[in-house]
Amino acid sequence: MSKLKIAVQKSGRLHDDSMALLKDIGISIDNGKDQLKASAKNFPVEVFYLRNGDIPQYLKDGVVDVAIIGENVLIEKGNDILIAEKLGFSTCRVCIAVPKAMTYNSMNDLEGKRIATSYPNTVNQYLKEKGINANLHIINGSVEIAPNIGLADAICDIVSSGSTLFKNNLKEVETILKSEAVLAVSPLLSIEKQAILDKIQFRIQSVLKGRQSKYILLNAPNNKLQDIINVLPGMKSPTVLPLAEAGWSSVHSVINKNQFWDVIDELKNKGAQGILVCPIEKMVL
């Protein structure tokens, strides 16, 4: 049976998050130090550890079948490649930043300026949309230092926390795009390997749904049961079980983690007691 070739970034936060996801979907990878590829013990998968910037071309050429890659890299180097799934981790944004001392009111302040970046295609497209003419200086590496050494008036780079910009005396002024890790697919993927990918994607969706949700259990007085149930969205409807104490029921449901505190406050106001919230490892719909 053919093995599905999955590319992941060879190091860094995206690598760690990607390997954690593969582990969560039950794919066991034996990867020793400095290995360029490794096979799964229990699934027809090979993992290739590659430079993030090289992955789009490997996908186009069919050297790898799928990849876990930053969406920003695909937009820069492979915007014709299909995204099968957004994965919700390794989030960042591609931003334009200028020295803190520079007065900045709008994009017009970048007219005729020099912008250092590793994302020329992305920046050029954005500047074109805004009707701004600027000169790009392409840098592969530490872009943030460019204004400090007189190489550029501004930069465009990926930003996570903003601490690197702060250390280099820069401030964000424009957000070009927001990015996260995605599952990208080669246009040359075979039907046989598509079947393997379908199984992997099903598992990924189950894990991601679990990460986005919380399992909630609570005790409800029967005279307020319907009001409490109305607060809970659940998957279809909450599970309701009678308690040993007459007049009370146990209610089980699932809530979105982003709505967690609002739901909890409303449940308490409706009379819910003994509220217990648990993480969900996987959720199969």
Q: What DSSP element (H or E) covers 77?
A: helix 71-77
The model's pTM is 0.84
In the prediction, which pLDDT does 160 show? 84
Distance of alpha carbon 95 from its chain centroid, rounded?
Answer: 17
Residue 32 has pLDDT above 60, yes or no: no
In the prediction, which pLDDT does 1 show? 65
In the prediction, which pLDDT does 171 show? 92
Please name which of 161, 130, 133, 137 lies closest in space to residue 151, comparing C-alpha atoms.
Answer: 137
Residue 33 has pLDDT above 60, yes or no: no
In the prediction, which pLDDT does 163 show? 86
Are the folds of 4-90+180-210 and 92-178 the same? yes
CA atoms within 13 A on the CB side of 197: 21
- 68 pLDDT band, cuts 50/70/90, is very high
| Overall average pLDDT of the 75-103 stretch | 91
**Average pLDDT score over the chain:** 90
Give the residue extent of every domain in the chain.
4-90+180-210, 92-178, 213-279
Residue 72 has pLDDT above 70, yes or no: yes
| Overall average pLDDT of the 30-36 stretch | 69
- 42 pLDDT band, cuts 50/70/90, is confident
Question: How far is it, in rounded angstroms, from Cα 219 to Cα 70?
Answer: 43
| Overall average pLDDT of the 164-193 stretch | 93
In the prediction, which pLDDT does 234 show? 58
Cα of first residue to Cα of last residue in the chain, in angstroms, is 28
Domain 213-279 is of which CATH architecture? 2-Layer Sandwich (3.30)
Question: How far is it, in rounded angstroms, from Cα 45 to Cα 200?
Answer: 10
Domain 92-178 is of which CATH architecture? 3-Layer(aba) Sandwich (3.40)
Say what percent of the chain tops pLDDT 90.
Answer: 66
Residue in the structure block whose two tokens are 């995206």: 14
- 283 pLDDT band, cuts 50/70/90, is confident
Domain 4-90+180-210 is of which CATH architecture? 3-Layer(aba) Sandwich (3.40)
